[in-house]
Amino acid sequence: MPIITDSASARTLLADPGATVPGPDPTARGPLADLRRGVSRFANGADHAHRRNTIEVLLDRLEPAALAADAAARARDAVRAGSRDADAWAIRRIPAAAIAGALGFADPDAAAVEAEVVADAYRSGATSPAVDAAAARLLHAAGGDRPDAALRVQLVVQAHRATGDTVSRAIERLAQASPETAVDPVLDARHAPDALGNPVVDAMDGALRAAPVATTVRVRAGLRVEVALADPVAPHSTPPGELLAFGAGPRRCPGTAHALAIAGAVVGELRRADGSVGSC
């Protein structure tokens, strides 16, 4: 499969209305297959437009500031329990738990655990009994038969993978920052260049340049093309406003402000707890 690594060409393809995404296997069966068939990520045309609109309505009801406050509280709890490492699951699960809680899941922490099980298979479609069981529990927790259940699960699962990876990478970078600089835990969704110089923002900038989701795939004129969402040669050369970490075009992540608020809050709290955050 050819791959596009040039950011300008990648942006052009991502904005192309004729470029589609590979759909889910129509012959697949089971809870994971049901989930993948019901989300916007693997849909095209009218199905994608309708599901994307529903996703945007759901996100419009979630205040980034409230998500940041919840994520910060969860981070403080994790620190009190002894978790500060970038790879600590208590830290990585915070984004999914914050989104699940805001969406009204009865047990946000359990939903985050299930999202962890489902996340890789959600993207690939390669399932297992454990993945199907976790997907079934997530769909049930999201409301079962309600029409937006799969989309609510989509938000939780994608928060685990993309936002969770952003948090982990930012923590690793923050470990190298000077502990004296003040923290601004809630990052502006615009990722403003003039905010650079704050260690939390710098750490997030580095994490986003690495792109938590490294590639995406489009189909154009019958040809599958892999699109790199980070410059593999000179990631630091891309201006902040042109980063592709959240995609581009009609499928750009609609939850950018929410993801940055959650990630910034978690990283900021960990910096407050320990001026140099790294391995335990």
Question: For 133-146, what is each residue's pLDDT tens digit?
Answer: 999 999 999 998 89
In the chain, how long is the greatest CA-to-CA distance?
A: 57
SS3 218: strand
CATH T-level fold of 3-273:
Cytochrome p450 (1.10.630)
Which residue type does 177 have?
A
CA distance 174 to 242: 23
User: How much is the pLDDT for 194?
Assistant: 43
Mean pLDDT on 249-257: 94
Q: What is the pTM of this model?
A: 0.87
- Given a cut of 60, whether residue 275 has pLDDT beyond it is no
Domain edges within the chain: 3-273
User: How much is the pLDDT for 237?
Assistant: 65
Question: For 51-63, what is each residue's pLDDT tens digit?
Answer: 999 999 999 999 9
Q: Which is more confident, 130 or 273?
A: 130
